[in-house]
Amino acid sequence: MTYFEAIILGIVEGLTEFLPVSSTGHLTVVEKMLGLPVDDPAITAYTAVIQMGAIAAVLIYFWSDIRRIAVAWAKGLVRPEYRGSFDHRYGWFIIVGSIPIGVVGFLARDVISGPLRSLWWVGASLIFWCAVMVVAESRGRQDRGERQLTLKDTFVIGLVQCFALVPGVSRSGATISAGLLRNLDRVTATRLSFYLSIPALTAAGLFELKDVVGSHIGIGQTVVGTLVSFVVAYAAIAWLLRFVAHHTIVWFVPYRLLVGGAVLLALGTGWASAT
C-alpha cells in the first residue's frame, strides 16, 4: 500500500464512518478501485484499524460528556448515591448496548472477513437498508429525548447494530434507524450512535491490529491513514449533528441507491469482480 492509497482510504473512512452510508462498504469499493485485494486479511484488518482514528475524533469531540459519564459510572460502582444518576445509568446503557455486536462480531469474525467481503453484499446492503431508514423516519414518533432513554432501548439498538457487520448496511444507519423506531428523537439517536461506536470500533481495531503489524502494509501507511481518518471524522461529526437537527436521514437514501446500483451494475456487466 502506498502513502497516497493510505491517505485516500483515511479520507473515505473519516468521511463515511458516522454518516449512514457505510464506511466499510465505501472502503471496499475504493480499495477495489485502487487495485487492492479486498479479500486480503491484511487489507480487511487495515480497514478496521484506521477506524480508531474516527474513534479518537469521537472521544475528543465529546470528551466532557464522556468523562462525566465515565466518572459517574465508576463512582456508582462503589458509592450507592451515584447509582440513580442519569450519567451512571448512561454508562451502563453504553456497555449493555455494546455487548451484542461484541459477541456476534467475535463469533462471526471469519464470515465477516471472508464471504461478506464481497461487492455483491456491499451493493445489495446499500440498497436494502434504505427501506429500513425510510420506515424508521416515517414510523418513529421522535417524542423521546436523552433523559427518556432506557436500558431496553440501548439493548435493542445494540442488537440492530449487529446488522452493520454486513458491509453496506452502515453502523450509524443501523443504530440511528433503531433509535428512531424506539421513538427517540433524531439527535438523541445520533449521539447514542456515536457513543456506541467507541467500544465496538475500538475492540475491532485492536483485535485486527495484529494482522496489520508485520504484513505487507507498512506501519507508516497505517499511521497516516489513521491520522487522516481522525481529522476528517472530527469534521464529519460536527456536520452530522447539525444536519440531523433539521433534516431526516432519508436525505442519504438517494446517494445509497445510486452507489449500490452502480456497484451491482458494475458486477452484473462484468466490469468489476466481487472480490
The DSSP secondary structure of 53-75, one letter per residue, reads: HHHHHHHHHTHHHHHHHHHHHHH
Looking at residue 120, its amino acid is W
CB 216 within 8 A of CB 1: yes
| Model confidence pTM above 0.75 | yes
Decide if 262 is inside a domain.
yes
- Residue-wise pLDDT tens for the chain (275 aa)? 899 999 999 999 999 999 999 998 999 999 989 998 887 888 888 988 999 999 999 999 999 999 999 999 999 999 888 888 999 999 999 999 999 999 998 898 888 877 888 899 999 999 999 999 999 999 999 999 999 999 999 999 999 999 999 999 999 999 999 999 999 999 999 999 999 999 988 988 888 888 888 778 888 999 999 999 999 999 999 999 999 989 999 999 999 999 999 999 999 998 888 77
Looking at residue 172, its amino acid is S
Decide if 98 is inside a domain.
yes
The torsion of the CA quartet 252, 255, 257, 261, rounded to 10 degrees, works out to -160
C-alpha closest to that of 32 among 220, 259, 185, 186: 259
pLDDT of residue 207: 84
CA-to-CA separations, 231 to 3, 28, 236, 241, in angstroms, rounded? 16, 21, 9, 16
Decide if 274 is inside a domain.
no
Count: domains in the chain? 1
Instruction: Tell me which residue has cell 486479511.
Output: 41
At residue 214, the 3 state secondary structure works out as: coil
C-alpha span between 144 and 113 (Å, rounded): 37
Decide if 204 is inside a domain.
yes
Instruction: Tell me which residue has cell 461484541.
Output: 102
Decide if 275 is inside a domain.
no
Decide if 273 is inside a domain.
no
Query: Residue 229 is part of which domain span?
Result: 3-268
Q: Which residues contact 62 (CB under 8 A, 6 or more apart)?
A: 191, 194, 195
First CA to last CA distance, the chain: 17
Instruction: Tell me which residue has cell 459510572.
Output: 73
Decide if 36 is inside a domain.
yes
Decide if 92 is inside a domain.
yes
pLDDT of residue 273: 82
